[in-house]
Amino acid sequence: MRRCYSKFTAYHLGFKNSNFLLVGSGSVTRRTIATTSERSFSNYAAQVGQSQTKDNTVSDMLIDSFGRLHTYLRISLTERCNLRCQYCMPSEGVELTPNSDLLSQSEIVRLAGLFVSAGVNKIRLTGGEPTVRKDIEEICMQLSSLKGLKNLAITTNGITLARKLPKLQECGLDSLNISLDTLVPAKFEFLTRRKGHDRVMKSIDTAIELGYNPVKVNCVLMRGLNDDEICDFVDLTRDKPINVRFIEFMPFDGNVWNVKKLVPYAEVMDKVVKGFPSIKRMQDHPTETAKNFTIDGHCGSVSFITSMTEHFCAGCNRLRLLADGNFKVCLFGPSEVSLRDPLRSGADDEALREIIGAAVKRKKAAHAGMLDIAKTANRPMIHIGG
């Protein structure tokens, strides 16, 4: 049967020299298309903003100068982690912010409430490792009860999740991503500098048993380390409602990023198509960061997050609140503004909204290229939040 996945989302059509895939008769080819001058970034971003559901609660605070509406807030609960993943932090570790300078539970909830009242409808809890925070259940309970919030998610390494997940589900946790970069226990210990592979696998199974569907599994691919396991990860989706998400290796301070370690989307896709020729592209929402695919006969799905080789900045709807209270509008941008300091100095909600709105308006059209990002001073990933 002839297969042709040439119908692409606007991500692939809005930028010069964008790579896309044509799949036919089991073969994959890459072509380059030129962008017409009429398809400007600002026009497309405005269309993305218009495509998102708005209601009377949406505030101008969340709309940047390119018309992008930001409805997704990622909150880092802690800089601490029980693993030492190579792509997240240097081997010697990182200097942690004193506890007194981290946001308290009440400060997190107050700031989250400002964002939700302005139109944010999804919050993701990150870290560090968010489950090491002792009050995470109370935080989930309070956040899930915010009027207007539709989804409360978490990104976790899964080390302690199996034990904590039943209670977190009761407290309103709607969805989750579990980070797992290898299916080989010995390699897991090498990549994370800790033991615990069996506990992560147990957490994935626990999440499935509790009815989470899909259970998203994040896999950062690094050449020479785990790129030989691509098809093994895809096999996880055969009989279980797992969404495997292959993530391109990204540069952050201290993770010794090198372009030679990057396994680009096109190369990964080549391997997947050869092993699973029935793979088909799904229709993605304009703000989706991943390119999503299904495979005939598989219960789960496969996704690709292509931050380095095919960025998705035009559809970005994400903002970040760091554990120390700094507000970041772009993962790869060094610019940050403190919300903690004015909050603790007695700023009222309107003053905080003005600070947030001004930062959102300063968000750039797109992040720099990967080689420029690698040269730009930024925090380690564990400080920013995964």
Q: What is the largest CA-CA distance in the chain?
A: 66
Could you tell me how many helices (H) and strands (E) the chain has, helices first? 12, 14
- Mean pLDDT to the nearest integer, 153-176: 97
227, 263 contact by CB (below 8 A): yes
CA distances for 279 relative to 31, 149, 237, 276, angstroms: 19, 34, 12, 6
Comparison of pLDDT for 47 and 206, the residue scoring more = 206
Write phi, then psi, for 31 (nearest 5 degrees): -125, 160
List pLDDT tens digits, range 216-247: 999 999 999 999 999 999 999 999 999 999 99
Query: Among 322, 267, 276, 324, which Cα is nearest to 76's?
Result: 322
- 118: DSSP letter: H
> Sorting pLDDT into bands at 50, 70 and 90, what band is 41?
very low
pLDDT at 27 over 70: no
- Asked if residues 247 and 221 have their Cβ atoms less than 8 Å apart, the reply is yes
3-state secondary structure of 80: coil
* Weakest mean pLDDT among 7-16, 95-104, 175-184: 7-16
Is pLDDT at 314 greater than 80 in this prediction?
Answer: yes
Q: Is the pLDDT of residue 121 over 60?
A: yes
| 3-class DSSP state of 61 | helix
Distance CA 115, CA 61 (A): 9
Q: Give the pLDDT band (50/70/90) at residue 258.
A: low
Report d(CA 366, CA 349) in Å as an integer: 29
pLDDT digits (tens, 9 = 90+) for 317-334: 999 999 999 999 988 777
Picking from 39-43, 169-173, 296-300, 380-384, which range would have the lowest pLDDT averaged per residue?
A: 39-43
Whether the link from the prior residue into 214 is cis, omega within 30° of 0, is yes
Percent of the chain with pLDDT over 90: 62
Q: Which residues contact 29 (CB under 8 A, 6 or more apart)?
A: 21, 22
> What's this model's pTM, rounded to 2 decimal places?
0.83
